[in-house]
Amino acid sequence: MSLTQLLVPTYTQMLGALSNWLTNAQAQMPEANAHALLSARLAPDMYPLSTQVRVSCVQAQEAVYRLQDKALPPTITILLDEGRNAGEQPGSLADAQARIDETIALLDDLSHDALDVDAEKPLVHELPNGMVLDLTAEQYARDWTLAQFYFHIMTAYSILRSEKVELGKADYVAHLFPYICPETIPKA
């Protein structure tokens, strides 16, 4: 499996799920509660929901540029800055949806082999705290970007659930529904 075949569908499916979760949240609560929802955290030392959404988008976007040896565009810095300031300025649900839509559009515009680099290609990734990871492209995809992406997606899901948004496992795995064998669907 190529890196494009692994990463692009994964990012697209899970960002689509995140978008649906936010749509469900918006339908289930008054608009006045959106600010509180986007500011909600699982623990005092964790980032709020609005940051989790933005960093999920950052992970997908960064991988696209890093694996293609392209400079990170200013939009990633904007997303990171928004995320860092989300405790005081969480934005709106519409802002969160826009960030997801922008990221999915970037993924949709990629060619079918855009991220297919040599799996052993060296990739140096500097973390915000100054630590540097020396990885191969495959290690970056498997051990860093996918793991970080799922961490932030699942944290967003957990925050929504903790804030009483009605979501379940089916909302998390909705992308699998087309693969269900019709004869195995339970009868009501």
Q: Report the amino acid identity of residue 158.
A: S
Q: Which of 63, 39, 61 is nearest to 145 (CA)?
A: 63
Q: Is the dihedral of CA 38, 103, 122, 118 positive or negative?
A: positive
The rounded percent of the chain whose pLDDT value lies above 70 is 99
Q: Report the amino acid identity of residue 10.
A: T
The domain at 3-184 falls in which architecture? Up-down Bundle (1.20)
Q: CB–CB of 50/88 below 8 Å?
A: no
For residue 47, the model assigns a pLDDT of 94
pLDDT in tens, 143-184: 999 999 999 999 999 999 999 999 999 999 989 999 999 899
Q: pLDDT band at residue 114, thresholds of 50, 70 and 90?
A: very high
The helix (run of H) or strand (run of E) holding residue 99 is helix 93-108
Measured from the Cβ of residue 147, the count of other Cβ atoms closer than 10 Å reads 11
For residue 86, the model assigns a pLDDT of 81
Q: What are phi and psi of 8, to 5 degrees?
A: -60, -50
Measured between its terminal Cα atoms, the distance across the chain in Å is 38
Domain ranges of the chain: 3-184
In the block, residue with structure tokens 């200013």: 74
For residue 2, the model assigns a pLDDT of 93
Distance CA 123, CA 53 (A): 25
Q: What is the pTM of this model?
A: 0.93
Q: CB–CB of 126/38 below 8 Å?
A: no
Measured CA angle at 86 (ends 36, 144), to 5 deg = 115
